[in-house]
Structure 1
Amino acid sequence: MSMTLEMKNVSLRTGDKLKVKGEILHDAEKFQIDLGWDSDDLALHFNPRFHDDADGAVLVCNSKVAGCWGDEKREKYNTLQKGSDVKIEVKLSGDVFEVELPDGQEVQFPNRVGMDVITYIRVAGDFKLTSFKIC
């Protein structure tokens, strides 16, 4: 059973962190963490996939402007496991997003659209959210 948490009118700025804890479902295909202005303008789309046609288990990052996706950044080293409890931290560092995974792996993705304030957050997909914190 997939879930969606969607928050509008938040205010994340450079130096802020988003901490997400939860369980990746046993039959997970994918889930996502999106940060931006709204669902059509995303500075960060973090999308772990467990059955990608091209690469199997892969971490995909992207951005979206006016509903149009940019070029995907694909990390073929995906340490996330279906059925596991995880904590994922996303740090806004100005010109880059730093995503820290449970094993210490870090994925960096450029702030391509130069958003200095994030007002929209969505966590969705095959993920059971247990804790959500902005600090």
Structure 2
Amino acid sequence: MPDDQNRRRSLLQSVKAPLIFSAVLGAVAAAVVFMATSGGTDNPRVQQGVGEAGGLNAPINLALIAFGIAFIVALLLVSMLQLASRENPEELRQGSGVNLNSEELYRQQVAERREKERRKKQEEARREHGEPPYGRDAE
């Protein structure tokens, strides 16, 4: 088992950071909605009974809905940004298909083209100077 899996990840690399950030953002949204729907700090709404005008008119219900929406949206955004910015492990950069290391392939192709050009120039120079063929070319 690689050492990377054995060591603990930091707070920013773990799942806790997006959860904490989303919870704080949700709490701020809930507080703002609760203050706005209860009439602000100068004009607080009179506490209503259980049977009277409940549902979405109650400030706490709207605050909880705002918390849930803000929490989910922030969690999705932060998680996607965290995944997008994370580097792939080194072993995934080697291989074939999608994970093929294209820079190495490009260097190999350039080296092969240069080698072909060098051999072609050597062959042309040999033919120009009248040098007898050697090896496989002798046949």
| Smaller-chain TM-score bracket | under 0.3
Counting strand residues as a fraction of each chain, which structure ranks higher?
A: 1
Q: Which has the larger radius of gyration?
A: 2
After TM superposition, the score normalised by the length of structure 2 is: 0.16
After TM superposition, the score normalised by the length of structure 1 is: 0.16
Counting helix residues as a fraction of each chain, which structure ranks higher?
A: 2
Structure number with greater CO (CA < 8 Å, separation at least 6) is 1
